[in-house]
Amino acid sequence: MRLLIAAVGRIKAGPLADLQSEYMKRLGGSIAIKEVEERRTSSASERKTREGELLLAALPEDASVVALDERGKALSSAAFAERLQRWQTDGIKTLAFVIGGAEGLAQPVVQRAGLVLSLGAMTWPHLLARILLLEQLYRAHQILNGHPYHRD
């Protein structure tokens, strides 16, 4: 199963880029990141709408989509690993995670998702949410492979 993260914003050189590279390396070639960015000056609601359009355009048509949103379903790391295993067993070819910008995700993006997932009740900056997701994907991989990286 191929993993894709479609995210608003570009990570510039620095600690977040280093963390992203580290987790991408740990996950091997099974994951890709598509960054989208709206550069036109507009109102917050127009920006959110346009970012949503860009995110949807970045998704393969056949992708199963998971939208990250603080109002989504919270899963433990073990439950997230089990869900990933189920998607793989179900024959999902591409699983795409979508992360919005500072204004969040436009409604059409949320509607496209089969699951709306929360990284917790706290609000995270969208660039940091990407790193948190990468870490949880790596952790899930380790759980599924019986590696002691995850401790209950």
Question: In sequence order, what DSSP letters do the residues of 42-106 get, joined into one string?
Answer: --HHHHHHHHHHHHHHHS-TT-EEEEEEEEEEE--HHHHHHHHHHHHHTT-SEEEEEE-BTTB--
Q: What is the CATH number of the domain that holds 9?
A: 3.40.1280.10
What is the three-state SS of 104-130?
ECCHHHHHHCCEEEECCCCCCCHHHHH
Q: How many domains does the chain have?
A: 1
Q: Is residue 151 part of a domain?
A: no
pLDDT 10s digits, 42-55: 898 999 999 999 99
Q: What is the pTM of this model?
A: 0.92
What's the whole-number average pLDDT of the chain?
93
pLDDT 10s digits, 65-86: 999 998 999 999 999 999 999 9
